[in-house]
Amino acid sequence: MAAGIGSRYGAGIKQLAKVGPSGEIIIDYSIHDALAAGFNKIIFIIRKDIEDEFKEVIGNRISKIANVQYVFQDLCDLPEGFSVPEGRTKPWGTAQAIWTIRDVIDCPFAVINADDFYGAGSFKTVHDYLVNEMSDDKDTMDFCMAGYILGNTLSAKGTVARGVCEQDGTGHLVSVTETYHIGRQNDGVIRGDDGNGHVEELPEDALVSMNMWGLKEGIIDVLGDRFKSFLSQLGNMPHEKRLTAEYLLPFVIDDLIHEKRASVKVLPVKDKWYGVTYHEDREYIVKAIADMVSKGIYKEKLFG
C-alpha cells in the first residue's frame, strides 16, 4: 500500500524517500525480501497523481525482475449508490485500499505498507504460513499476521499509531485495538490514546500489528460489503467526522474475529521495524540500512 498522503512526513513523498546506499527506497528492501521468501507477484496500490514518479523511482525497475501490477486508490472509488461527502479530501483508509485489488487478485496474498521496513524474517514467516498452513478453501477466513514487539516499532522523532493486539493461548488473535499517539514519555513509560482522549500505559513487549497480514482473496468481497455499511453510517456522523473517518483493515479483521467469522494466527517476528513516519526518521533508517549492508545482510546495490 503506497497511496497514503504522508502528511506527517513533510516535503516530498515519503514512500519514495531514498534510504539505501545506491538510492534504494524502503519498498525496494520489502520487494527484495518478499521475492527471496517466495512471493512472485507485486501489486502496487498507489494514487494516480504519483504514478509517473512512482514508476520512475521504482516501478519500472521492479517490473524487470517481477510480475508487477498497479491499482489506484481513489476517493471516488466507491460502491454503487454512494458519493464522496462534500469537502472530503482524506483517503478512505487501508480497508478501501485492499478493496481496490478486487480485479487483479485470485490467490492468498500478503499486505504491507510501502513506508515500513519489516525485515526478511517476517516475509519468510508469512509466506510459509500462506503456503503450508492456510486452508485451500478461499471462503474460510483463516488469516495470519506478523506480530511485532511494540518497543521495536517506535519512532524517536514523534508519536505513532499502532494496532495493539491481544492473543489467546493458541497464538490466535483475540482483538486489535487501534491506538494513537504512542510514544515513550520523559519518564520512560510508553503511552498512547484511544483516539478519544483516553490515555493508557502500554508495556514494552506489547504485541502490535504493523499492517503485515496474510489474507485470502475471499476477504475482498467482505471488504466491499462492509464498505457499504461504513459509508451508510457516515450520514449519522457530525460533518467533521464525515470528512476524516477512515475505513481501516484492522477494524474489519477485529470485527470478523468477534463475529467468529475469521481466525488470525499471530506469527511472532524478531525483526526490528523501521519507517519514515516523520522526515527526521530518514537519517535513522539510512544508518540502519548502512549497518545491515556492512554486515552482509544486503548488497550495497540491492538489485545489482
Best CATH choice for the domain 14-294 from the list 3.40.50.300, 3.40.228.10, 3.90.550.10, 3.40.640.10 = 3.90.550.10
Axis crossing angle, helix 26-37 with helix 120-132, rounded to the nearest 10: 40
* DSSP structural state of residue 25: B
Per-residue pLDDT of the chain (304 residues; tens, 9 = 90+): 887 644 444 445 666 778 999 989 899 999 999 999 999 999 999 989 888 888 888 888 899 999 999 999 999 999 999 999 999 999 999 999 999 999 999 999 999 998 889 999 999 999 999 999 998 887 789 999 999 999 989 887 788 888 899 999 999 999 888 899 999 998 999 999 988 889 999 999 999 988 899 999 999 999 999 999 999 999 889 988 999 999 999 889 989 999 999 999 999 888 888 877 667 778 888 999 999 999 999 999 998 6
* Nearest-angstrom CA–CA distance, 206 and 190: 10
The confidence score (pLDDT) of residue 14 equals 61
* Nearest-angstrom CA–CA distance, 116 and 100: 20
Asked whether the CA dihedral 130, 249, 164, 28 is positive or negative, the reply is positive
CA 233 to chain centre: 25
The confidence score (pLDDT) of residue 9 equals 42
Residues 6+ away with beta carbon under 8 Å from 157 = 277, 278, 280, 281, 284
| pTM for the model | 0.87
Beta strands in 10-138 (DSSP E): 41-46, 67-72, 109-111, 116-117
Axis crossing angle, helix 219-234 with helix 249-258, rounded to the nearest 10: 100
Cα–Cα distance list, 1 to 45, 57, 68, 270, 304 (Å): 5, 16, 14, 23, 25
Cα–Cα distance list, 185 to 180, 182, 207, 263 (Å): 14, 9, 19, 35
**Residue 172 β-bridge partners:** 265
